[in-house]
Amino acid sequence: MKEELKLLVALQEIDSVILRKSRELKKAPEEIRRYQGPLRESEAAYKREKEKYEAVEKKKREKELEVKEADDKIDRLKSRMSDIKTNKEYQALLKEIETIEHEKSGMEDAILYMMEELDELSAGLREAEGRIEQEKKRLEALQVELDEKRGVIEKELAELKEKREALTARIPAGIYSKYMDVFRKSNGLAVVEAKDEVCLGCYMSIPPQVYVEIKTSDEILQCPQCGRFLYRRDPAAEEKETPETS
């Protein structure tokens, strides 16, 4: 394989890794957003439970105020007993007190029911708070994990870019310029293998003569269909290692 083509193959390998690792870096915020979903749901559930609790608690306070008003009214009615002159008036007063006490009893039953409901809602709030804390811990753990992963990837990228710089210094400027043009147009894949008269970049057929020339010609050939640089693997002669970059 021609030396310049070997360098392009090695450059493509490095650029492919750089692209992949750069995409991994971009995925980190997406992972955080994905894990923020359950936390937002837990916070929304807690808010709904709290609103229910506050609504019931407000009704309970209102009912307790009604009970107090009923007690005050009963006390006022009882204070009038000493001033009553006839049995008829006395019976009417007792009836009125009895009616208020009956209403008061209903209010107290309602308060007891609301107290039970508040206990249930309070348990629900504690459970919702627990879910929020759990999701926060999961998110914090993920953030730590992603930060560590980002640090490793950034270090790897720095090393890869150093290798890339050393490698591109060995590639003629005109060839490198063509490579970058194809690289940008071909979504980061500028150098591909030609196999069985097919370009493994666009998977279109390569003319037989071009296919032969890829191995025999001193020219660096490109796919007639997609423009990618082509090379052929020679299992018997292919070097296992890429060209040195220093």
The rounded distance, in Å, linking the Cα atoms of 5 and 3 is: 5
The rounded distance, in Å, linking the Cα atoms of 246 and 243 is: 9
**pLDDT tens digit sequence for 169-214:** 999 999 999 999 999 999 999 999 999 999 999 999 999 999 999 9
Sign, Cα dihedral of 201, 202, 208, 214: negative
The rounded distance, in Å, linking the Cα atoms of 138 and 38 is: 10
Contact 192, 206 (CB under 8 A): no
**pLDDT tens digit sequence for 41-76:** 999 999 999 999 999 999 999 999 999 999 999 999
pLDDT of residue 242: 44
Domain boundary among 145, 168, 191: 168
Answer yes or no: do 150 and 205 share one domain: no
Answer yes or no: do 201 and 160 share one domain: no
Residue 244: inside a domain, yes or no? Answer: no
| Lowest-confidence pick of 13-17, 25-29, 161-165 | 25-29
Tokens at 151, concatenated: 């640090």
Answer yes or no: do 72 and 108 share one domain: yes
Answer yes or no: do 30 and 95 share one domain: yes
Tokens at 103, concatenated: 């209403």
Q: Domain total for the chain?
A: 2
Answer yes or no: do 181 and 157 share one domain: no
Mean pLDDT of the chain: 91
Answer yes or no: do 95 and 45 share one domain: yes
E strands present in the chain: 191-195, 198-199, 229-231
Answer yes or no: do 28 and 65 share one domain: yes
φ and ψ at 172, to 5 degrees? Answer: -55, 140
Nearest to 194 by CA among 163, 221, 155: 221
Q: What domain range is 184 assigned to?
A: 173-231
Residue 14: inside a domain, yes or no? Answer: no
Q: C-alpha distances in angstroms, 237 versus 13, 57, 65?
A: 19, 84, 96
Residue 16: inside a domain, yes or no? Answer: no
Residue 119: inside a domain, yes or no? Answer: yes
Question: In the structure, what pLDDT confidence band is assigned to residue 84 with cuts at 50, 70 and 90?
Answer: confident
pLDDT of residue 42: 92
Answer yes or no: do 109 and 128 share one domain: yes
Residue 8: inside a domain, yes or no? Answer: no
Answer yes or no: do 150 and 38 share one domain: yes
